[in-house]
């Protein structure tokens, strides 16, 4: 009996030590939004990571969810503290519309399978309309803050909103025809629906990030601004299970019966 207990403790200690000494991924981002992509473009992105563990990481395979996505990964071991990249290439030819793809990494790291995500909207390349200099001068002009906006921590399932001040700096009435996103998690309203030259309006954007952890999504605004018909804004949020802080003191059933 004593030998069995000793063997069990030794195995447990070995397993604990092995786990503590494993390599571990730390990605700078685990999801990437390409935004609008012209059909035929080979959209590429590199996911950077650091091995924050204490032993080398060996990646045995990286598999994409479809044949349209090709991953490239380091074949040599990644030493503790070293940085490396997973390069992903998406073939947009003949794939008009929204895409959401996953890339699964298999390795000897603490988390043996790690999943990365790419998304975007493939748009058919159409001949750009030609406008005269006079038409461009008389065009409506969409003036809106395009700096990235971070909502911070957001509770799972929560919708958050941002109101933008919109100004028409042009010569003719401004209208927004549509707002598109690859995540289908964004809606918007423009008030008033048409903004006169020199006037202001407001655009309310409602964002409903659906993935736990870090979210980053691009919205593209289409308007009748002939000089700049498409404008993109990046939204980000950190989705957590709850924003309610847990009590550090948990009463036992015995204390509740006193």
Q: Which helix (H) or strand (E) holds 236?
A: strand 230-240
Please give the structure tokens belonging to residue 57: 């990481």
Helix, strand or coil, per DSSP, at residue 19: helix
Q: Is 171 in contact with 211 (CB distance < 8 Å)?
A: no
Q: Which of 20, 25, 23, 45 is nearest to 34 (CA)?
A: 45
Q: Which of 162, 142, 15, 26 is nearest to 81 (CA)?
A: 26
Note the CATH number of domain 134-240. 2.60.40.10
The whole-number pLDDT of residue 223 equals 95
Helix, strand or coil, per DSSP, at residue 254: helix
The whole-number pLDDT of residue 184 equals 85
The whole-number pLDDT of residue 21 equals 55
Tokens 């981002």 map to which residue? Answer: 29
State the span(s) of the chain assigned CATH 2.60.40.10: 22-123, 134-240
Question: pTM, whole model, 2 decimals?
Answer: 0.81
Helix, strand or coil, per DSSP, at residue 111: coil
The whole-number pLDDT of residue 198 equals 96
Q: How far is CA 152 from CA 155, 237, 240, in A?
A: 10, 5, 10
Please give the structure tokens belonging to residue 45: 């992105």
- Sheet of 31-38: strand order equals 31-38, 113-123, 97-107, 59-64
The whole-number pLDDT of residue 13 equals 44
Q: Which of 133, 170, 148, 141 is nearest to 33 (CA)?
A: 148
Mean pLDDT of residues grouped by 10 in the chain (258 residues)?
47 44 89 95 96 95 95 96 96 95 96 95 91 95 96 94 96 94 90 96 93 93 95 95 71 46
| Fold (CATH) for 22-123 | Immunoglobulin-like (2.60.40)
DSSP letter at 94 equals T
């Amino acid at each position: 009996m004593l030998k069995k207990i000793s063997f069990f403790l030794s195995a447990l200690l070995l397993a604990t030590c092995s786990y503590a000494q494993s390599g571990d991924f730390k990605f700078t981002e685990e999801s990437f939004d390409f935004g609008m992509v012209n059909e035929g473009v080979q959209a590429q992105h590199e996911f950077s990571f650091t091995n924050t563990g204490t032993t080398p990481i060996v990646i045995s395979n990286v598999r994409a969810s479809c044949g349209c996505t090709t991953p490239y990964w380091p074949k040599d071991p990644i030493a503790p503290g070293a940085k490396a990249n997973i390069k992903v290439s998406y073939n947009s030819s003949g794939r008009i519309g929204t895409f959401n793809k996953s890339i699964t990494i298999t390795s000897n790291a603490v988390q043996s399978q790690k999943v990365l995500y790419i998304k975007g909207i493939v748009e058919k390349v159409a001949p750009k309309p030609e406008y005269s200099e006079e038409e461009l001068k008389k065009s409506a002009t969409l003036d809106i803050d395009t700096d990235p906006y971070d909502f911070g921590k957001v509770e799972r399932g929560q919708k958050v909103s941002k109101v933008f001040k919109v100004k028409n700096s042009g010569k003719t009435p401004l209208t927004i025809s549509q707002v598109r996103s690859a995540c289908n998690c964004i809606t918007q309203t423009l008030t008033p629906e048409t903004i006169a030259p020199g006037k202001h309006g407001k655009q309310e954007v409602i964002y409903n990030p659906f993935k736990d952890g870090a979210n980053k999504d691009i919205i593209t605004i289409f308007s009748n601004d002939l000089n700049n018909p498409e404008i993109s804004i990046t939204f980000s949020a950190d989705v957590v299970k709850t924003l309610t802080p847990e009590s550090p003191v948990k009463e036992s059933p015995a204390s509740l019966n006193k």
